[in-house]
Amino acid sequence: MIDLSVNRPATSAYREALALLLPHIAKDRRFSALQDYHPPEGPEWARATVADWLDGVAGDGDAGRVVLTDGAQHGLACVLRALTQPDDVVLADFITYQGISALCRSQGVDLRGVSIDREGMRPDAFEAACATLRPRAVFLVPTLHNPTTVTLSEERRRALAAIARRHNVLIIEDDVYRPLLDRAVPSFAALEPELTVHISGLSKCIAPGLRYGFVVAPRAVLGNVAAALRIDCWSISPLTALIATILLEEGTAKRIIDVQREELRRRQAILRDALAAFDVQSQETSPHAWLHLPEPWRGAAFARACRQRGVGVLPADAFAVGRETLAHAVRINVGAAPSSGELRQALAIMADLLNAGHFEISGAV
């Protein structure tokens, strides 16, 4: 099985950096603090490093606005508990990151989908949803959107932010893919700092096994986010925080991200060549791509046929909010293949299926 259904790093750069770091970590001046409890928002030295890393993106370098979490998903869970009550409405793209759906269901939050186009959430649809549903918040993945790969333009971001401001709707910005961009676009946290809760982490750009996320929030809600985290686990592991802090401080994190970005660029070129005849939505350094399926394929049937031939992809159903009619599409994670050769092999199998679609029928009788 060549599994292209999971977002994972395209290189071993993190493991190589970690192998060099671990023998020396006991010499770090903060090593003695690893056996103690820490504040729920995380060690001050770790928050200061994250604040510096995000300076210009969110929080303007203020460590007092940072809460450290066990990955971005944990951050999102804490934010939802801090900001919402059961039956509150949260809006999201009607096709979006599947983790938000499960979280909202578990917390009794009413997640509603908003129509999108090839530039992201439609402002007119967002405006209408705000007027009729009176949502508490809107959840957005504005950079290399999961799964469609759309990066919202500054113009689209400003339009959505203006609507949120007019209706007093909080913006939950999941920006985990931002470090992979060649050229950054202003974040919602930069455009509307008092209305935006910015969530990011190192899983998508460095390694999911690191489990290091961060929330940058207005001070008015930050205490509730930290309190939600304390209920969960008191605070994150200071060992994780120290590893991530050293990687960020020494510039190793940037070098890992540069390596990942260049490998993703090569893999996206392979994908463009292999699926040139089909409608593929992607960007040069995106870890995934969104394949719009030709007739007669539907997402679930195509994913099933791929799996029968040893290739894993995720259909649009996995990312659906509610039960609206979906585009017939699948997400392809180009970074997930163990090698470029295996990526080529998997894409060749997919291309054969796409070309022979009219010969494919269900095995059920």
Asked whether the whole model's pTM tops 0.75, one would answer yes
The sign of the dihedral angle between the CA atoms of 312, 205, 152, 286 is negative
Q: Residue 272 corresponds to which tokens in the numbers above?
A: 């463009």
Ranges of CATH 3.40.640.10 domains, the chain: 13-250
From first to last of its 365 residues, the chain has per-residue pLDDT tens of 999 999 988 899 999 999 999 999 999 999 999 999 999 999 999 999 999 999 999 999 999 999 999 999 999 999 999 999 999 999 999 999 999 999 999 999 999 999 999 999 999 999 999 999 999 999 999 999 999 999 999 999 999 999 999 999 999 999 999 999 998 899 999 999 999 999 999 999 999 999 999 999 999 999 999 999 999 999 999 999 999 999 999 999 999 999 999 999 999 999 999 999 999 999 999 999 999 999 999 999 999 999 999 999 999 999 999 876 678 999 999 999 999 999 999 999 999 999 987 565 555 44
Nearest CA to 40 out of 74, 91, 84, 85 is that of 74
Report CA Rg, the chain. 21
Residues 6 or more apart whose CB falls under 8 angstroms from that of 215 comprise 66, 67, 69, 75, 78, 79, 197, 198, 199, 222, 225
**CATH node for 2-11+254-358:** 3.90.1150.10
Q: Side by side, which strands form the sheet with 137-140?
A: 66-69, 213-216, 196-201, 170-174, 137-140, 89-93, 110-114
Strands 2-3 and 137-140: unpaired
- Cα(333)–Cα(327) distance, integer angstroms: 18
Quick count: other Cβ atoms within 10 Å of Cβ 365?
4
User: Domain 13-250 falls in which CATH fold?
Assistant: Aspartate Aminotransferase; domain 2 (3.40.640)
Ranges of CATH 3.90.1150.10 domains, the chain: 2-11+254-358
- Cα(220)–Cα(193) distance, integer angstroms: 12
- Cα(334)–Cα(336) distance, integer angstroms: 6
